[in-house]
Amino acid sequence: MVTQQTKDILEFYYEKYNRPGFISDDPISIPHRFSKKQDIEIAGLFAATLSWGQRKTILRNCNQLMQLMDEQPHDFILHHSQKDLKPFTTFVHRTFNSTDLLYFIAFLKQYYAKNDSLENLFVQKDIEQGLIQFHNTFFSLEDFPVRTKKHVATPERKSTCKRLNMYLRWMVRSDKNKVDFGIWKKIKPKDLLCPLDVHVENYARKLKLIERKQRDWLTVTELTSNLKEIDAKDPVRFDFALFGMGIEKIII
């Protein structure tokens, strides 16, 4: 049972951090540079995928990647030549390197040549099955690099899938403050699962929203289930509260 005190804390910090000012220092600022749906999807996927490490480094490398795509990621994905890929061969973000990047580009080119949106890759009976479907489809090209699998999580490996759940939050949910985009309509906010990074986990445990000792897929579902006691229609909005509290090291 979630206490009233916990509910009040989460609501207070949700209102504090869910504001346009949140955008500039967060990886979500990368897709916010675009207005075209496909550009937002592609920029968002790369920003979410590279979202580990120092935020300044994440933003710098994501911005570099968008520049390499001539600030038109969808157009670049569809129409680039082999020669255009040469500058990408030196790209690196922590353990994500050019091999991984070039496979991402190859998959996206093949996919967008036949499809209008990435949304359908995630549409299944629930988010767990959607993430599994995305992973399996993403690695369906012949001779995919096995090393790239460590950069695309799946519940089948018991991963928390933090970055993909964050990406889904960006694409699916929306509210008056317009931090998240809400450009995908086939998936509902009520079905999303809370991204679980170290900040979210620490404060979720402080607030007794997580009892499970492990940090895995079941921990994500436990946290989200408890958040649904507060808001069944939009539980992952409290990601703003938990993450923001962690960043600012709020004492509770």
- Cα separation of 57 and 61, whole Å? 6
Kindly state the DSSP code that residue 208 receives in the 8-state scheme.
T
Which residues neighbour 59 within 8 Å (Cβ) at sequence distance 6 or greater? 25, 27, 29, 30
From first to last of its 252 residues, the chain has per-residue pLDDT tens of 899 999 999 999 999 999 999 999 999 999 999 999 999 999 999 999 999 999 999 999 999 999 999 999 999 999 999 999 999 999 999 999 999 999 999 999 999 999 999 999 999 999 999 999 999 999 999 999 999 999 999 999 999 999 999 999 999 999 999 999 999 999 999 999 999 999 999 999 999 999 999 999 999 999 999 999 999 999 999 999 999 999 999 998
- Cα separation of 55 and 44, whole Å? 15
Which residues neighbour 97 within 8 Å (Cβ) at sequence distance 6 or greater? 91
Q: What pTM value is reported for the model?
A: 0.97
- pLDDT value at residue 1: 84
Give the CA distances from residue 77 to residues 17, 82, 103, 143, in Å, rounded to whole numbers and listed in that order: 34, 11, 12, 19
- pLDDT value at residue 19: 96
3-class DSSP state of 241: helix
The token duo for 21 is 């000012």
- pLDDT value at residue 252: 86
